[in-house]
Amino acid sequence: MTTFTAPTIPNIENNELRQQLQQIIDQKTKPLGALGRLETLAVQLGMIQGTTAPHINQPQIRVFAADHGLTKHGTSAYPSAVTAQMVYNFLQGGAAINVLARQHNIELKVVDAGVDADFANSPFKDHAQLLDYKVRHGSRDALTEPAMSAAECLAALENGMDVVKSMAGNLLIVGEMGIGNTSAASLLLARLGDTPINDCIGRGTGLDDAGLQHKATILTQVLARHSEAQAPFDILAALGGLEIAMMAGALIQAASERRILLIDGFIASSALLAAERLAPGVAQYAVFAHHSVEPGHAHLLKLLNAEPLLNMGMRLGEGSGAALAYPLLQSACAIINEMSSFNDAGISGQNS
């Protein structure tokens, strides 16, 4: 029987450390709580890293790309060929995530988790930013069979873990590219989060009203087809996508190494939900970047007890919302490490 054995996820909770972090922040040259969310973010980063001096070094973005067999049923406004075309765009530096990664000096690499294309025979076969972890050429058609066999799902999870094991730095952003992956994320939310499917789905890449209704019909049929899948691993294999499973594995490994997880939007949050179900404790390491306008994201955030940093009306994916929020984490670290205390500055304060 194929099973997944998750690594140990350290518990970040430490009352003494939390009190120390709060005391350091409260003694800064400002009224109590005057920096709002920046203060709670600094405490969270300190708890994740187990230190009163949190810092970020060599932040990393990994964009996981894969195709979805379910798209043959018209669940997306774009054809599957766009997945490979967007991978080429990433490798040429032309996508939104490339722009934001360059702006914030975050290393970006693209992971071929299961794109239905052969990059080995392309001009990009030896590209330094392309990592080949392909499990198969796209997931299977979940309307007629599990999206992944148990062995394929296990391989995707383990490959995601391997991506992180060889990765520098202490902060991970997982992005994604996969035409049809909002369907997979919606299915995972419906089953893992016990949420009505109509509350989970949105327009994805731009479906019209008729397309949205068709998507709901197909996804309802998929859930019925895999009603026996109830355990987290079985759910991920039956309903998920190769890139989402690989993202989940990456998040599990990163949490086991006490890295900061800066979580993007709907797809990334669905991967985190799967990771949390497979390895309870992973979500402790998550900082939620933004609130996607994809309808299912609000339900995911509630399930994960999350309060995102930004609400920019975004729904692009790629890790773009997380990259946009990244400077807030830098600022939180700078405040706790560099801002003077009342005592340091010789100022009479009321925060003692």
DSSP three-state, residue 174: strand
* 79 vs 67: CA distance, rounded Å: 10
Structure token digits, residue 341: 């205390």
Q: How far is CA 314 from the centre of its chain?
A: 15
* 252 vs 196: CA distance, rounded Å: 27
* 162 vs 133: CA distance, rounded Å: 9
* 242 vs 111: CA distance, rounded Å: 11
Which element (helix H / strand E) includes 111? strand 107-114
Catalytic: which of 276, 307, 318, 338? 318
Q: How far is CA 131 from the centre of its chain?
A: 18
Helix, strand, coil in percent for the chain, rounding step 5: 50, 10, 40
228 catalytic? Reply is no
Q: Which amino acid is at 276?
A: E
* 85 vs 117: CA distance, rounded Å: 10
**Gyration radius from the chain CA atoms:** 21
Query: Which of 245, 288, 244, 248 is CA-nearest to residue 267?
Result: 244
Cβ–Cβ under 8 Å, residues 55 and 270: no
Structure token digits, residue 114: 């299961």
Query: Which of 137, 127, 143 is CA-nearest to residue 88?
Result: 127
Q: Report DSSP letters for 126-171, one per residue.
A: T-TTEEE---SSS---TTTS-SS-HHHHHHHHHHHHHHHHT--SSE
Q: Which amino acid is at 173?
A: I
- Residues forming the active site: 318
